[in-house]
Structure 1
Amino acid sequence: MVPDNVPTVDHAFKNRNEAEGYLYGLFSFLPEFANAASNPALLGGDEVWYIDPVEGMSPVLWYLSQGRQGTNNPLADYWSSKQDETQYGLNGGKALFTALSDCNIFLENIHKPFDLSKYEREKWIAEVTFLKAYYHFWLFRMYGPIPLIKENLEISTKGEGVQRYRQPVDEVVDYIAELLDEAAVNLPVQVEDMAFEMGRPTKVVALAVKAQLLTLAASPLFNGNTDYASMVDNRGIQLFPQTYDAEKWKRAADALEEVITLAFEAGHNLFDFSKTPFAGNLNEKTIAAMQVRGAVTDRWNSEIIWGDSNTDPDALERACHPVFTLAQLGGGIRKSYAPTLNVVEQFYTKNGVPIEEDKEWQNRNLMELRKAGPEDAYYIKEGFETIQLHFDREARFYGSIIFDGGTLYGNGRTTNDQNLWVTELKNGTLGGGPTPPGRYSSTGYLCKKLIHYLTAAPESSGNLATYRYAFPIIRLADLGLMYAEALNEYATAPTAEVYYYVDVIRGRSGLPGVIESWRTHSIHPDKPLSKEGMREIIRRERLNELAFEGARFWDLRRWKLAEEYMNRPIRGLNISGETADEFYQIKNVYNLTFEKKDYLWPIKLSVILKNKNLVQNPGW
């Protein structure tokens, strides 16, 4: 509450305490990365399929994948949402242009608090400069060319003076990169107060976002994309570069090398589950499967470059968790976050190559029933009959996917892996079938990767106690694979460094290097030797390693592959089937449609009508 006749800005910066409150308000504009109502990458693509009605988590941004986007009230509207409508605007999203204006107000006034030390003032300025850069980046990734809110307009500005223009792609990228470099100067290399500041930006975070930005700018969507040749504003300015520039990959690679080097110096490393407290009692297969799951859910592990400390992934964990007893059906377990069969098939075989390329799999019937033997016991219940598709897969598959007959490490059984839980999904009452309403898997699968192994429910009830973790925004494996991609795109043929950064991430989960794997097991043994072949491998590695973390949604767009992937039917198993023969029938769950216009978000129609200087994105 501000007293009458007291200017709000002066009051907000009268002392350190008031200014800190304003600072926290600026952080509140960050998307909630673990919240499906805020982050379109969780439900807006082809990776996970949902149900409607559903309990416990909003399905609104799932409608993006169903082609229900529009210009009257766009889904995930981060351009024109108003903070006074709802927490996420009308259809998801936050008011990021309001956030940018507020960032500028902070930077213009932070010199006023009399009791703020020079060090803290410089750090806060760096943090807000980072936020200003990130909010521009988030808008750029969604909408393409955007207005740059370098400074706030004078209050007296009227008419055409308030009608900003969208700026060309290269200008937007350069400005955001400049802000991130500026922020990095006074940001600490590591979080200084781990009790209160985890999730705040560091120098490594700022440079990681810069590397992510430059990789995006070098990618096909923004680098010489002639699909947007018509995007010319009323000044005659071309908003998209029309000529491919390989040097953009070099710029991205240099930025990635810089941040990876700094990350190691700051103590970041690939997560290793074998060093966690219970690992000494676990089989190497359990550990291999837990590597990627732990890299996501182990709280503030060394691989997390930047994590979301503000969003509790409770709703995600509940939507991913299976039930094991009838008593658990009445509690907080929702079992509705369902990976698609398309993604289930995407993971490698145990030989480290795609199913469709593996020489040993050429004549396998993926839907044929097979009984698990003792050699399968750590991943599939011994004696259980399930399909060939679930056998002999890479460890990341077993760490990411819950399937019928599969095992689950966690839910109270963590000290050893001799009595793992078994997930039975073909039983409509107990597993993932279409009962109870609002709580079932639409595809016959659930997502294991996002469940912390300490999350647990008692056998006698569904009172799930979720273990909170910081949902990863950027982790080290992400940067490593981006670096391999940038190096490969800039070179004429893959280099030793390209192989190294892919192989070290594969190796963490027990896979051999790509050259060895393809030479030994693939029907295309020379694939890793060419730039084009390695490009395909790196992209597949990203889809597997970063599955369910939101990376796929943006990667398919920047690679201009969304038209290919998002025009395939969403497939799953017959969730109504209770016997094996009934359950293991492939069903088309939904026929996706993705058009060129869907690569970029529409600007709300009312905004376009108010500002004649804005160019609407093509197709909208």
Structure 2
Amino acid sequence: MKYLKYLITAILFVGFALTSCEDYLDVSDELAEERSLEKIFSNPQDVRKWHRNIYKGIPNTMNFYWISVVWDIGMGNPWPNLADELIPSFEENYPYTRALSPADRPLFYGRWHLYQLIRQANVFLENAKEIPKTGDADYIGLPEVEELKAQARFLRAYYHYLLFELYGPVPIMEKSANPADPDLDFARNSVDEVVDFIYTELTDILEDLKGPNYYDPNYLAVPTKGTALAVRARLMVYAASPLFNGGYTEALQLTNKDGKRLFPDKDDTKWQKALNACQAFIDYANAGHYELHKEYTNGVYDPYKSVYEVHMKFNKEIILARSDDQGVINAGGPVGNIDFYTIPRGARGGGSSTGGGGVLQELVDDYFMCDGLAIEESPLYTETGFSTAGEDLTGRTEIGTHRMYINREPRFYQNIFYNGRKWHIGGEQIWYNKSGNSDNSGFAPRSGASLYKRLSQRVYHLSPHPLTEYRPIMIFRLPEFYLLYAEALNEVSPGDPRILEYVDKVRERAGIPLLAAIKPQIKGNQEAQRKAIRAEMRIELATEGQRYFDVKRWMIAENKPGEGGLGGDFTGMDMEAKTLTGFYKRIVIQKRVFERKEYLAPLPQEEIQKSRLLVQNPGYTPTVE
């Protein structure tokens, strides 16, 4: 459809610039100025313009550069910096070095602005109608109206999900509200009510949404049947997880002002509901709609190329993605800057980059060895000395590489850039140690290793060479749902052989030995399988924005670093060491704080203060500003 291409092209290049919390119910659009809804929804162009603005809340998972995240009003991807994944090159206003408070605004208040877009969706659903064709004038037929309404309902449900993910139970907004109403006020719905609302909405629109689009970048963010099934599956896994299913003791006491409980007691049957939702998605995916992306070199499967190219091109693994310039080089504004943020300054073409995307040693350690085992299990791993000829079985490192970096899995080499590694353009070695060509001054990675994942290996970042490469910004990928499916199966029926089968699908694509082959003893052992599933999620989805929420829904965020914890002493290499050998000594590079109240983010304090009905999440006290 001609209109749809225009719609999506416009949608995905707009920024998410909303107003303050005070007027989050207003419609952010010039259409509303001195124009009635009747006039707006009688004009086909205005109808489509109103509709496309609803898309502004789709997150940008490639935007984890801290300054950009602040500009992006919370809808970027700050979560790897808050999880046990990344450390920024500077700490200004970072909330993880102290306990959270309701004053931590743009980071945690940004999502509250989604209510503005939810209202915009409601207004659209209440007013959009067929505009009959008259001569050569533009028109909107009934099929188009139904299609746009299904998309609006998806976005309304998805935005409720994003609010639920961060804040827990929130007010459900099914109808538009008049922000000028002096009596306007809303209480929080319960966990079960929010989950039921989102699930029902997504179920109702399944047959009104189209099938997957794999390759046209203009259509990647258009919700499809598979997208709705995926959100529904993730939602139900969340609802069954300890945080929302009786495991958060403090929240069990949380009530609205009328005494209504917001969090349910534990209900083990919710895992069966989660499994049913995951099964529905898996059945749909296996019917030819989605598949893991694989690349071949000279007819032979190439795992290194596969785990790189999956993030570089449009493919059948994508369930939902953005497609715009916010994932590529642009140092001039509030955009993703993924290359700008991660290219080392000592690399060819890295002269104007910051290279500050540091990777915590806890994440470095969790990548598997090439034998498929964790570093504490594998005989191949040592942290002593430097490699000699023939020692690295993968052939991916240079002689003289520190031994902690040799014999690692393909995802390690495509995700982590470590000290002394050769840059893919020009072949110069990058040194993060003191006085090296990308040393610890300015924006250099504070951990001694930088993020390599999703960085384009085909750009120079130096004119006149190519400055950018167009690539999808992933929101949902198939491997996540293979692993969610395995997780739900394990909680319901630990002896089910499909648990290891679906974990091994992800491992096979990653080019490492299957669990069924190297750890057959864990089959049927619920705790061992749970550990394996979580370890695979940790690596496959690293820095894509899910880890922060996973460790909280599992309620392991209060563990120590290296065991899912978000607080404690996090480590890296010794950037101040005067010798290369001294550089590779682990030291504490950041002390973080995590308190139990932080399993949920605080609701905006301004909303609590002006509402007679809203109640704050457990543990947060009002702040005076």
* Secondary structure, aligned partner of 1:563: coil
Matches within 5 A, 1:483-562: 483-491=485-493, 493-518=494-519, 526-562=521-557
How many Å separate the matches in 2 of 1:289 and 1:397?
10
Counterparts of 1:229 and 1:237 in 2: how far apart (Å)? Answer: 11
Could you tell me how far 1:157 is from its partner in structure 2? Answer: 4.6
Shift of 1:193: 9.1
Partner of residue 101, structure 1: 119
Aligned pair partner of 2:432 in 413, 419, 425? 425
CA deviation after TM superposition for structure 1 residue 229, in Å: 1.7
Please tell me whether the aligned partners of residues 60 and 473 of structure 2 are also in contact (alpha carbons under 8 angstroms).
no
TM-score scaled by length of structure 2? 0.84
Verify the 8 A CA contact 2:388 2:399 in the aligned structure 1: yes
Report the alpha carbon displacement of residue 204 of structure 1 after superposing the two structures with TM.
0.6
* Distance verdict in 2 for CA 1:4–1:505, change over 3 Å: closer
Aligned counterpart, 1:352: 372
Instruction: Return closer, same or farther for 1:369/1:193 CA change in 2, 3 Å cut-off.
Output: closer
Give the SS at the match of 2:519.
helix
Tell me which residue corresponds to 1:606: 606
- Counterpart in the other structure of 2:481: 479
Give secondary structure in 2 for the equivalent of 1:508.
helix
Q: Report if the CA contact (8 A) 1:305-1:474 is conserved.
A: yes
Letter in 1 for 2:153: T
Q: 5 Å matches for 1:179-194?
A: 179-191=201-213, 194=216
Q: CA deviation at 1:139?
A: 0.4
Pick one of 84, 87, 90 that aligns with 1:46.
84
Displacement of 1:322 in angstroms is 2.6
In structure 2, the residue matched to 1:273 is: 295
1:140 aligns with 2:164: yes
Whether contact under 8 Å (2:85, 2:543) holds in the other structure is yes
Taking structure 1 as reference, are residues 68 and 470 closer, same or farther at Cα in structure 2, changes over 3 Å only? farther
Distance 1:118 1:180, change over 3 A: same
Pair 1:555–1:453, CA change in 2 (3 A): same
Counterpart for residue 43 of structure 2: 15
Secondary structure of the 2:368 match is coil
Distance 1:3 1:254 in 2: 43
One-letter code aligned to 2:211 = V
Per-residue CA distance 1:336-369 (angstroms, 9 max, x = gap): 11110011011112221222233x26xx652x11
**CA deviation map 1:112-151 (0-9, x unaligned):** 6442112111110010000100110000001101000011
What code does the residue aligned with 2:236 have? L
Which deviates the most, 466-475 or 477-486? 466-475
Alpha-carbon shift at residue 199 of structure 1 (Å): 1.7
Q: Write out aligned runs for 1:197-346 (5 A).
A: 197-225=219-247, 226-242=249-265, 244-274=266-296, 279-280=297-298, 287-295=302-310, 297-310=311-324, 312-314=326-328, 315-325=337-347, 328=349, 330-331=351-352, 333-346=353-366
Which residue does 2:617 correspond to in 1?
Answer: 617
Paired residues of 1:371 and 1:384 also in contact (CA < 8 A): yes
Taking structure 1 as reference, are residues 150 and 405 closer, same or farther at Cα in structure 2, changes over 3 Å only?
same
For residue 601 of structure 1, what is the amino acid of its counterpart? Answer: A
**C-alpha distance 4-232 of structure 1, shift in aligned 2 (>3 A):** closer
Question: CA shift at 1:185, angstroms?
Answer: 2.0
Q: What does the per-residue CA deviation read over 1:528-573, in whole Å, with 9 as the maximum and x for residues that have no partner?
A: 4411111111011100111111121111111111111112311110
Match in the other structure for 2:468: 466
Aligned to 1:450: 454
Q: Which runs of 5+ in 1 are unaligned?
A: 54-58, 79-91, 414-419, 520-525
Write the letter of the residue equivalent to 1:107. Answer: L
SS of aligned partner of 1:206: helix
CA–CA distance in 2 between the matches of 1:288 and 1:207? 28
How many angstroms does 1:156 deviate by? 7.6
Contact residue 353 and residue 518 of structure 1 kept, 8 A: no
Letter aligned with residue 508 of structure 2: G
Change in 2 beyond 3 A, CA 1:233/1:154 = same
Alpha-carbon displacement from aligned partner over 1:382-422 (angstroms, at most 9, x marks no partner): 32241x211222222122111123355x54x8xxxxxx664
Give the drift of 1:310: 4.0
User: 2:98 aligns to what?
Assistant: 67
Distance 1:378 1:422 in 2: 19
Distance 1:128 1:528 in 2: 43
Work out which of the residue numbers 359, 373, 377 in structure 1 matches 2:389.
373
Q: Which residue of 2 aligns with 1:76?
A: 107
Residue type of the partner of 1:395? Answer: P
Comparing 579-588 and 67-76, the one that deviates more: 67-76
* Whole-angstrom CA distance in 2 between matches of 1:167 and 1:233: 9
Alpha-carbon shift at residue 207 of structure 1 (Å): 0.9
1:56 matched to which residue of 2? none
2: distance between equivalents of 1:76 and 1:312?
18
Match of 1:119 among 119, 143, 166: 143
Q: Secondary structure at the match of 2:570?
A: strand
What is the distance in 1 between the residues matched to 2:38 and 2:435?
61
Question: Equivalent of 1:150, from 174, 179, 185?
Answer: 174
User: Which residue type is aligned with residue 453 of structure 2?
Assistant: K
Question: What are structure 2's unaligned runs of at least 5 residues?
Answer: 1-28, 70-75, 133-138, 329-336, 560-564, 621-625
Contact 1:457 1:464 in 2 (8 A): yes
CA distance in 1, matches of 2:528, 2:490: 10
Q: How far apart are the structure 2 equivalents of 1:457 and 1:378?
A: 29
- Tell me which amino acid in the other structure corresponds to 2:166: M
In structure 2, the residue corresponding to 1:591 is in which secondary structure?
A: strand
Shift of 1:472: 1.0
Q: Is the 8 A contact 1:372 1:381 kept in 2?
A: no
> Which amino acid in the other structure matches residue 448 of structure 2?
G
- Is the alpha carbon distance of 1:207 and 1:2 closer, same or farther for their aligned partners in structure 2, counting shifts above 3 Å? closer
Kindly provide the amino acid, as one letter, of the partner of residue 375 in structure 2: I
Rate the CA distance shift 1:517–1:421 in 2: closer, same or farther, 3 A: farther
- TM-superposed deviation, 1:618: 0.5
Q: Is the 8 A contact 1:126 1:182 kept in 2?
A: no
User: Deviations along 1:263-311, whole A, 9 cap, x unmatched?
Assistant: 343542101122xxxx339x97xx323332322x222221111112245
Residues 95 and 104 in structure 2, CA contact (< 8 A), matched pair in contact too: no
Residues 268 and 97 (structure 1), Cα distance of their counterparts in 2 relative to 1, 3 Å cut: same
Q: Distance in 1 between matches of 2:57 and 2:154?
A: 13
| Cα separation, 2, equivalents of 1:93 and 1:379 | 45
Residues 371, 512 of structure 2: 8 Å contact kept: yes
DSSP 3-state at the match of 2:96: helix
Secondary structure at the residue paired with 1:26? helix
**Alpha-carbon offset, residue 381 of structure 1:** 4.0
Of 393-402 and 163-172, deviating more is: 393-402
Counterpart-to-counterpart distance in 1, 2:33 and 2:321: 41
1:390 aligns with 2:414: no
2:589 aligned counterpart, secondary structure: strand
The aligned amino acid for 1:227 is E
**Structure 1 residues 596, 3: CA separation in 2 closer, same or farther (over 3 Å shift)?**
closer
Change (3 A) 1:422 1:263: farther
* 1:599, distance to aligned residue in structure 2 (A): 0.9
Distance 2:445 2:251 in 1: 39
Distance in 1 between residues matched to 2:482 and 2:455, nearest whole Å: 24
- 8 Å Cα contact 1:27/1:131 also seen in 2: yes
Distance 1:400 1:578, change over 3 A: farther
State the 1:190 CA deviation: 2.3
CA separation of 1:5 and 1:571: change in aligned 2, threshold 3 A: closer
Query: Which whole-Å CA distance do the structure 2 matches of 1:329 and 1:5 have between them?
Result: 46
TM-score (norm 1): 0.85
The one-letter code of the counterpart of 1:399 is: Q
